Chain A
Amino acid sequence: MDRRDFVKTAGWGSAALLFNSGLGRGQANPSRPALPPIEVHGIRLRKPSKLGIPGLFPGRVVEVFHGDSIAGNRVCQPIVGRMLDEGMKELTGENSPAAAWQRFIEPHDVVGIKINSSGAPVCYSSPEIVREIIAALRSIGVPAHNIVVFDRYSYEIELGSYQALLPVGPRLVGIEYGAFDAARYDFDVYCDADFFGESETRSFLARVVSQEVTKIINIPTMKDHAASGVTGCLKNIGYGCFNNVARTHQAPYTYTDPFIGYLCSTEPLRSRAVLHIMDGMREVWHGGPITSNWEFIREAKTLFLGTDPVAVDTVELEAIEKRRREEGAISLWDNDPSTLTKSDAEFHRDCHKNLYFRQPGHIAAAGKLGLGVFDLKRIDHRQLRLA
């Protein structure tokens, strides 16, 4: 890879304009301002990895359930380890967990584990799962110092106490701490779009992604999201590896559809994100991504595994939408202006309220960018129920 040889994907913006109008099952956002051009400035790879999104198993999602994996909000690490083993074997068709991991990771890789700590301390990537993934990587010969656990905000990592809960050896990296803290971003890799007249129109990729790691294992959590409908694999690496993304929301409008997909399509992020393991121990079905209202959180006791983030997120979206139906909440696709509130507090206590016209269509939009399968009928959804 030549660091100076980045590609400016001119014309994508106009493609996005056309493409946005036909996406999703819901109505277009009422009077959302027109989608601006989006320019993707990625790094040109001599040979994009075949492990990159949508990876080795497009359209395949393995859902693993174990009834004892979490109780009283405490995750049982030995059971999670077994769920991970069985899920990896099912995903790859290999006979052993080690062989399964070796489909994605080689001993000389520098492996980034992208956690989701934004819901800490209530709903965030369980340290128990992260520890089991680190143990699996170590078992196939990845040195501890070649493992980097990272997320965007250092203070959210700290709220999850990863600094104490990770094993000795792997590095723990918070990309930024306070406002305007861009020092750990790569100014050569960015997506540029002026959504609402903001002063900085670029979102830069973290250097840990562009310059340090060779593979990324993505550990999102199972949550609804006030702007994007749900937050899963796509949003965790898109909005979790680039900075200056909150600018895409200006209530009640948001451009998460299609911006999340564009971010995920940017190289080298796309080639390095080889595996997605969604932490579904807890399911936030309303109030996400950051809530402490236990009324909207249930213990789902599930892991979702795949190489195709669009397929995994599609399954997640269906599961959360189903839960909301069962709980009597409004649909994630609801675009009724009467449901809107300007009050965070009201949104967090009322599952009939929205802060934004939500955009679960961002998943299908990413699929149309070639990032995976979003048609449920074409998704190979395998369910394992462990004793």
Chain B
Amino acid sequence: MENSAGADRDWVTLLSENSRTGGSREASWRVPKGVRWQFRAGRAVRSAPVLRDNLLYVTEVHGAVYALDADSGRPQWTRQFPNWIHSTLSLSGNTLLFGCDGGKVHCLAGDTGRTIWETATRGEVWGSPVVRDATVFFGSADGRFYAVEHKTGRPRWTQNLGGRISASAYAAEKHVYLGCGDGKVYALDISSGRIQWSAPTGDGIDSTPAVVAGTILVGSEDYFFYGLDAGTGSVRWKFETKLGISSSPAASEEAVVFGSKDQNVYAVDIRTGKLRWKTFAGSAITSPPVISGSVVAVNAEGPVLCLDIASGQVLWKAGLGGGLQSAPVLAGGRIYVASQNGMVYALE
């Protein structure tokens, strides 16, 4: 996979890499002893940072993009764009990709911030672009899903779907999987965009799918979390929570972990869909959890919580300002967290 992390210190897209596992390659996340640095990235950060080659990239909601030295927190370059940014950044090679509320997707040089290309849609782009086989995939609130050349931004194909697309896609070898505001999960042919199958849920989908062992794992605003057969879209199992699920899941080999707006973090067996544990977080959870060895971390509306992955027991929590989609980055023995109030922290 072109966009897979090249080194243990890299964390190139939402949930670490395109497999959306949530960074499970690292050793367990220990209690941080202190703050190495903190940086104010404007007034608000909604999305997750990414990391490559010792540069931490962060977007501020009001249109700023920062490249920070991961050791010191000092900005290496900054760009200001005219539209709001909800999209989580994605790194591929030396390029940095993200969408914005004005409908554009930007491709920048990671080392300088220089624009390489940009392409336009007719709606907000909130999801994180996904790169596979030299193609960038992203959806838009205009109801279309786009595939463009990574090098140039030229269109490869576009597929019209039945609703807004606000979450990111999962790009596998032959198919791209995504959830849509029309309530369906779609499997699109990766080379043509043709719809291979669609599977209905009871309401719109605002969650990014993961795929493990032929099972698509995705939450819906209908309060259910689904395990779908990746080949056919048939429902293998579904698990009910008390409110909508927009948190994207993180998966280990056996369990999938996700948050719900009902304020709980759930771990569900990937094979059976049975509950392993649930833990009350005290605030709605819309951000994706990340897994690190034997622990799972999630940035709730309030604190960052660290849970034991086997039991769900809270190991520790830290009040860092919360975040709606801002998953922590766990790399090189450090934890990088961006918070809704605009602060970026490096803990170690």
Interface on A for B, CB 8 Å cutoff?
A: 73-74, 120-122, 127, 154-155, 158-159, 161, 163-168, 172, 177-181, 183, 292
Contacts and interface: CB of A to CB of B under 8 A. Distances in A.
Nearest to B205: A164
B141 interface: yes
Interface of B: 42-44, 46, 61-62, 84, 86, 123-124, 126, 141-143, 163-164, 166-167, 180-181, 202-206, 221-223, 242-244, 246, 261, 263, 284, 286, 324, 340-342
A122 B242 CA distance: 10
Contacts of A177: 43-44, 46, 61-62, 84
A179 B43 contact: yes
A163 B341 contact: no
Among A172, A177, A180, max chain B CB count under 10 A is at A177
A178 B261 contact: no
Contact of B126 (A73, A155, A163, A167): A163
A122 to B, nearest CB: 7
Among A74, A121, A164, A167, max chain B CB count under 10 A is at A164
A385 B203 CA distance: 27
A164 B324 contact: no
Contacts of A155: 44, 46, 324, 340
A172 B125 CA distance: 12
A155 B284 CA distance: 12
Nearest to A179: B43
B340 A178 contact: yes
B221 A161 contact: yes
Contacts of B124: 163, 172
A153 to B, nearest CB: 10
Among B86, B124, B340, max chain A CB count under 10 A is at B86
**7 closest cross-chain pairs (CB), A and B:** A178-B44, A178-B43, A168-B143, A164-B206, A121-B261, A164-B204, A164-B181
Given A166-B164, A181-B44, A161 B62 contact: no
A173 B204 CA distance: 19
Contacts of A73: 242-243
A292 B263 contact: yes
Contacts of B246: 161, 164
A178 B324 CA distance: 13
A122 B46 CA distance: 21
A206 to B, nearest CB: 15
Contacts of A181: 43-44, 62
Given A168-B123, A168-B141, A163 B164 contact: yes
Contacts of A165: 164, 181, 203-204, 206, 221
Given A155-B46, A177-B84, A178-B44, A161 B284 contact: no
Contact of A167 (B163, B206, B263): B163
Given A167-B163, A292-B284, 11 more contacts: A158-B46, A159-B284, A159-B324, A161-B244, A163-B86, A164-B181, A164-B221, A165-B164, A167-B181, A179-B43, A180-B43
Among A163, A180, A183, max chain B CB count under 10 A is at A163
Contacts of B243: 73, 121-122
Contacts of A179: 43, 341
A183 B203 CA distance: 34
Contacts of A120: 284
A330 to B, nearest CB: 27
A168 B284 CA distance: 26
Nearest to B243: A121
A166 B182 CA distance: 9
Given A164-B246, A168-B164, A159 B286 contact: yes
B127 to A, nearest CB: 10
16 contacts: A73-B242, A121-B243, A121-B284, A154-B61, A155-B340, A158-B86, A161-B166, A164-B181, A165-B181, A166-B164, A167-B163, A167-B181, A168-B123, A178-B44, A179-B43, A181-B43
Contacts of A159: 261, 284, 286, 324
B46 A168 contact: no
A374 B11 CA distance: 59
Given A121-B261, A164-B204, A168-B164, A158 B221 contact: no
Nearest to B340: A155
A163 B340 contact: no
Among B84, B141, B205, B286, max chain A CB count under 10 A is at B141
Given A121-B261, A179-B341, A292-B263, A164 B44 contact: no
Nearest to A121: B261
A121 B244 contact: yes
Contact of B341 (A121, A122, A166, A178): A178
Contacts of A154: 61, 84
Among B166, B222, B223, max chain A CB count under 10 A is at B166
Given A161-B221, A164-B181, A178 B61 contact: yes
B347 to A, nearest CB: 22
Contacts of A127: 204
Contacts of B61: 154, 177-178
B62 A183 contact: yes
A163 B179 CA distance: 13
B341 to A, nearest CB: 6
Contacts of B181: 163-168
A158 B286 contact: yes
Given A155-B340, A177-B44, A161 B206 contact: yes
Contact of A168 (B84, B142, B205, B341): B142
A168 B163 contact: yes
A282 to B, nearest CB: 12
